Amino acid sequence: MRYVWLDEYLLGKAGVTKDFKEEWNWIRYQIGGKMFAALCLGDDDKPYYITLKLEPSEGDFLRQQYEDIVPGYYMNKVHWNSVRPDGEVPDDLLKDLLDKSYQLVLKGLSKKKQKEIMEENMAKSSVYFTSFKATGQENLLQKLHRLMKTAGFETIDFKEKYAAIKIHFGEYGNLAFLRPNYARVVADYVKELGGKPFLTDCNTLYVGSRKNALDHLETAYVNGFSPYQTGCHVIIGDGLKGTDEAIVPIDGEYVKEAKIGQAIMDADILISLTHFKGHEMAGFGGALKNLGMGSGSRAGKMEQHCDGKPSVNQAACVGCGACQKICAHEAPEIADGKAAINHDKCVGCGRCLAVCPKDAIAADFHDSIAVLNCKIAEYSYAVCKGRPCFHISLICDVSPNCDCHAENDIPIIPDVGMLASFDPVALDQACADLCNQMPPIAHSVLDENIKEHQEEGEHDHFHMTHPDTEWKSCIAHAVKIGLGTNEYELVQI
């Protein structure tokens, strides 16, 4: 059998057990007592078929594409499919199909049973951390390389594979984004291991300097992300107008089919390189925000934003028109010196919240923000599933708002350090925990809000910076759908 990894791969999933059904001569893999995969042995006790469960439409499609995928061997031929163990089905595809079978059977269990399984098998993820302290023997770029190496970067097989480095290039005028020197370290390391790296991001939903590929590339180059500086090329993930997208079925609670930039999905390996900072809608912008929202095409971004639509406090509004100027969809309308948001036009991107000088604009409901965060988690799952991923976050220049802004206010906390992990959920949780241990910077938005609310005791820095936000729903949903865990071990190097 060519798929020698099968047994270890399946037993590595939460709650999986296996048994041998002697009368069938099958090795069965089960979750909650229900079979989701089987290795069917022939009369000579050699693998004859690998059987798994799929949605009927997907199973039928794959049977037409691969002659080595056939209707389920001695199983219901609508829901079950069998793969020849010495055929031509790619390893990555088979792993993806086994993942889907596992999820289908897991979802068929009671909610109580699902929770029991996940809680019993929740292992801590390793998150590697180093400070920004440097010496004459090791500068920060060398330190980042050592961090990645220690975190297991070299365990990924990069040879002759395309590696997408998902990064935010920064809006024109913003100066808080990551320096391109850090991207150079990652790109050079990928090339050192035989890979083919490229930097990537998708076009924005709002008016700005990155709303199409030409403007986006120009901004990236102006901000220093040229091939000469970073050692690799820039590819805008969703093409010229933001319409070049891959439809990724995930059948999530909020997203059925994620719309991801085609170039990002075409990559064999995904690396996220994230500037960890505050965010006026999501609470903070971390690895999940970079992956989920950042990798979405313009239509994908619209799908994620559509539930969090803001409204205007008429008493506070001065009719300055700042919200009108920033909106790409003509949703803010001014009449009698007061603005109002037309929800039929609004896509919920939240740009107007940040530019209002009187803080007269706010999201209507807390659960809208929660839904946005859940969609970000599901989009992150769509981007990461079925391929090797590695995640790096730098907690520096922690501005209160996203790097999508054409300006950046003073940081809300001091610089913390660099972190890396294979688990983006644990990485975000570790970053948030470290940030909340830091003192606020004097005269920052965080510091001013603490004084205004007279809260010198325990509080969450990101919620205090943007009181209408909460970030924990994104982490919780990411854990729920199996993207990662919020339980982690912080390994300092």
Q: Which residues contact 473 (CB under 8 A, 6 or more apart)?
A: 369, 370, 373, 374
Q: What are φ and ψ of residue 111, in 5° steps?
A: -60, -40
Locate the domains of the chain by residue range: 6-120, 133-289+383-492, 310-363
Tell me which of 3.40.1130, 3.30.870, 3.40.50, 3.40.1710 is the CATH number of domain 133-289+383-492: 3.40.50
Tell me which of 3.20.20.140, 3.30.70.20, 3.90.1300.10, 1.20.210.10 is the CATH number of domain 310-363: 3.30.70.20
Are 228 and 244 contacting, i.e. CB atoms less than 8 angstroms apart?
A: no
Tell me the pLDDT tens digit for each residue of 425-478: 999 999 999 999 999 999 999 999 999 887 656 799 999 999 989 999 999 999
Tell me the pLDDT tens digit for each residue of 39-62: 999 988 899 999 999 999 999 999
Predicted pLDDT of residue 435: 98
d(CA 298, CA 300): 5
Q: Does residue 293 surpass a pLDDT of 50?
A: yes
d(CA 81, CA 53): 6
Judging by DSSP bridges, how do beta strands 283-285 and 277-279 pair with one another? antiparallel
Tell me the pLDDT tens digit for each residue of 350-405: 678 668 888 788 755 445 888 999 999 999 999 999 999 999 999 999 999 999 99
Q: For residue 214, what pLDDT band results from cuts at 50, 70 and 90?
A: very high
d(CA 94, CA 66): 12
For the full predicted model, state whether its pTM sits above 0.85.
Answer: no
6-120 CATH fold? Aspartate Aminotransferase, domain 1 (3.90.1150)
Residue 107 burial by CB count (10 A; 0-12/13-18/19+): exposed, middle or buried?
exposed
Predicted pLDDT of residue 122: 60
Predicted pLDDT of residue 320: 97
Two structure tokens written together for 236: 């805008």
